[in-house]
Structure 1
Amino acid sequence: MTLKTILAAAVATTVIASPAMAQDKSDWPDNFTVGTASQGGTYFAYGSGWANYMSEVLGISGGAEITGGPMQNMALVHTGDLKFGLTTMGPARESMEGNSPLAPGMKMDNVCAMFPMYQTPFSITTLSSSGIDSISDIPDGATIGFGPAGSTSDTYFPRMMETLGVDFERRNGSWSDLGTQLQDGLIDVIAFAAGIPIPAVSQLEVQTDVNIIGMTDAQIETITEKFPVSQFTIPASTYQSLEKPSQVVSMWNFAIANCDVPDSMVYEMVKATMENNDKMVSIHKAATTSVPENYDKNNVLPWHPGAARWFNENGYEIPEDKIHN
């Protein structure tokens, strides 16, 4: 697979900061780029803010690149076209095993975990005027937007909907574009998989009345038995439109690095991220769970040696056989 193929839909946006610290960076790259996802989604907001923060900490220029999301980020980081990215555990496992639809048969095993980010809840948004108040209300043939092609939502949500007996027409696009289409009546439902609060949902509920739909206990049981997800509660305070907590399912996200990135660089990045959660939360509220205690949620990717060094120094044991060598 060529870089041109992988990057066909990508557009770069760069966030640059002035040097903030002096140290030996002789083996570091001159700059770095973080693979995120589409605008209007949490990955882009989180990744852009983190890239800017790392630029300040490391004293080198860094940027965030719009991509197709976790699957594409795994491919780009594996090949070294991007040094860093964000991914979800489900797509990470499929990519590691050579089952990525972007590069069938390619085992993307040069991708290493850096630190835990947050859980990605799978939730549904409709216009209140649609009369759709639950998954069972979705009419046969409804058009559902599943986010960018190859994203976590696009990879898993259609399968979940089929498992729950929903008959639908599939639509892909950026979260912001799908939000506009929902508001204009061009699609019926958006099936979001993104950290909360999702920027596109927050924008939608300011402009119109929306229903944010959860899952029943029976639906959650059915989905958790078949997919690598767990039950998750979206607090009522997350959105103006929620009157009570919403029960859904979720999947963990981790920041990733090409395993060949210098250990000292990754160590400094992980140190700054894990030791300054207030700063991370100021970037995005989803970062409340970007804390070292959640390191054990990675059961898929090998750890980058630089990341493992920080965790082990701070009492979070990562065994040697879980570290890339």
Structure 2
Amino acid sequence: MIRRSFIGLGLALLAGTTALAQEADRSGWPGTVVIGTASPGGTHAIYGQGIASVISAHVGVPASTQQTQGPTQNLVLVHGGRIDIGLTTMGPAYEAMQGELDLDPGTAYDDIRALFPMYVTPFQAAALERSGITSVSDLAGKTVGAGPRGGTGGTYWARWFEALDLSVDVQNGPLGDQTSQLADGRLDAVTTAAGLPIAAFSELETLAPTVFFGLSAEEIGKLKATVPYAEEFTIPAGTYSAQKEDISTLAMWNVAFTNSEMSESLAYEIVKAVFENHDEMVATHASAAETLLENVTQNGFMPYHPGAVRYYREQGIDLPEAVIPAEMK
């Protein structure tokens, strides 16, 4: 009896110590985690819900999403401490680090820290079949929706039309609203950049016969020199019901990120939860199939958060020197 009592006491003390250690490890954690996504109809909005669900269920911190104008605004919000996690593409992230972000020019975002790669975002366009528009060159003189101003599509398509010497009346707004305007004939086409398949495009082709297209080989060659963080990409035939052939285009990788103020232990647990509950992420959106450890090195310049670095090193991943934060070198 006495021996059992001492054993029971020892186990109780051990359990108490473990609980205290876990509590201490959570020091500095916020009461909730807010994830900045994008406008409705885009992939970020759906994918972000998956992240929030995984964090809530497996990290033990209530998480929610906040609709934003997209990748560029998410950088501003995370940098300013107004949200905890943002979703962005490598183009805006690169420009933010260089102090060249459209929404905050002259400010070098040296405090942003990557958490994990998400998926690759191809640039693509849609027009109604009856319009006769089947290529980017056909958009000259047309009124085209390019998504939110702070989104990847809204940022780059406007620049690219200019680089290709195309006079296009670019309209900004939520992607879902713009595909509805296209179906109603108020826009001639919609251009965007998002993970596949884009929900708004899938819905569009149920409303009217639709044509999907990307960039020609000549356009890719001309634009690629201006965006070294973009890669050539093929949108597979059948991605949308009306798409019978592969589509060639450019694409950029997406990354979930935070700032240097996030607790190392929280960043570690978030990254661990995302990779170790991959099936739950994929169930939210098919694009999460690319959220894999093998794609961690797709980020070649944005420093990873120390908590993320710790997890990746435990998994045996050899990270490029450029993505190791200064405090860990």
Tell whether the structures are fold-level matches, with TM greater than 0.5.
Answer: yes
Q: Are residue 193 (structure 1) and residue 202 (structure 2) matched?
A: no
**1:117–1:321 distance in 2 versus 1, CA, 3 Å:** closer
Q: Please tell me the root mean square deviation across aligned C-alpha atoms, in Å.
A: 1.5
2:105 & 2:88 partners in 1: Cα distance?
18
SS in 2 for 1:295: helix
Who is 1:8 aligned against? none
SS in 2 for 1:310: helix
Who is 1:183 aligned against? 183
Who is 1:131 aligned against? 132
- The answer to whether the 8 Å contact 1:78/1:109 transfers is no
| Amino acid across the alignment from 2:154 | D
2:323 & 2:247 partners in 1: Cα distance?
35
Q: Are residue 162 (structure 1) and residue 171 (structure 2) matched?
A: no
| Amino acid across the alignment from 1:185 | G
Structure 2 unaligned regions, length at least 5 = 1-18
- The answer to whether the 8 Å contact 1:115/1:255 transfers is yes
1:61 & 1:214 partners in 2: Cα distance?
39
Give every structure 1 segment of 4 or more consecutive aligned residues whose post-TM-superposition deviation is greater than 6 Å: none
1:284 & 1:249 partners in 2: Cα distance?
21
Larger radius of gyration: 2
| Amino acid across the alignment from 1:36 | T
1:77 & 1:317 partners in 2: Cα distance?
27
2:323 & 2:279 partners in 1: Cα distance?
29
Deviation of 1:37 (Å): 0.6
2:239 & 2:191 partners in 1: Cα distance?
17
Deviation of 1:319 (Å): 5.6
Q: Which structure 2 residues correspond to residues 221-232 of structure 1 after superposition, within 5 A?
A: 221-228=221-228, 229-232=230-233
Higher helix share: 2
- The answer to whether the 8 Å contact 1:37/1:43 transfers is yes
Deviation of 1:237 (Å): 2.5
Who is 1:112 aligned against? 113
1:322 & 1:131 partners in 2: Cα distance?
46
- The answer to whether the 8 Å contact 1:92/1:300 transfers is no
Q: Are residue 268 (structure 1) and residue 269 (structure 2) matched?
A: yes
For each residue in 1:238-269, what CA deviation from the matched residue of structure 2 results, as whole angstroms up to 9, or x when unmatched? 11110011111101110001211111111111
| Amino acid across the alignment from 2:44 | Y
Who is 1:251 aligned against? 252
Q: Which structure 2 residues correspond to residues 1-325 of structure 1 after superposition, within 5 A?
A: 23-24=22-23, 25-138=26-139, 140-228=140-228, 229-318=230-319, 322-324=323-325, 325=327
For each residue in 1:48-103, what CA deviation from the matched residue of structure 2 results, as whole angstroms up to 9, or x when unmatched? 22112211111221110011111111111112111101011110111111111222
| Amino acid across the alignment from 1:129 | R
TM-score (ref. length: structure 1): 0.89
For each residue in 1:262-281, what CA deviation from the matched residue of structure 2 results, as whole angstroms up to 9, or x when unmatched? 11111111112123322221
For each residue in 1:160-210, what CA deviation from the matched residue of structure 2 results, as whole angstroms up to 9, or x when unmatched? 222223221010000011011111111111111111111110110112111
Query: How many percent identity over aligned positions?
Result: 42
SS in 2 for 1:226: coil
SS in 1 for 2:310: helix
2:295 & 2:177 partners in 1: Cα distance?
33
Deviation of 1:157 (Å): 1.1
Q: How many residues align?
A: 303
Deviation of 1:291 (Å): 0.5
1:182 & 1:115 partners in 2: Cα distance?
34
